[in-house]
Amino acid sequence: MKTAIAIAALALALSGCTVASGRLDTRAGLEPIPGSITYGGQPRTKLTRSPVGSIVRHTFRNELGQRVDEVYVVEPDRSLKIVSRKVCRGPFCDD
């Protein structure tokens, strides 16, 4: 009987938990955060061989240890523009 009560209490406690799996932010003009390729300015090396409009993906950990996935697009002047950012806030991320 004690085991059944303990299992029921655990199930009730776990049912109240939620996991935020991530956030996809597609606003125009995302600001770079620490860890972003463009944080502190554009990279010194130009992407001369990358076609304009090509996509560059970058994954890193933020200051809270959360995984951050960013997507950049190569602009006509060969600079990078952040077009989306996904922050994985839970222990598991849906890839």
Q: pTM for this structure?
A: 0.65
Q: Pairing state of beta strands 67-74 and 55-61?
A: antiparallel
The pLDDT-based confidence of 92 (bands split at 50, 70, 90) is confident
What percent of the chain shows pLDDT beyond 70? 68
Indicate the helix (H) or strand (E) that contains 61. strand 55-61
Name the region of 87 (left: φ>0; alpha: ψ -120 to 50; beta: rest): beta
Answer yes or no: are the C-beta atoms of 7 and 14 closer than 8 Å: no
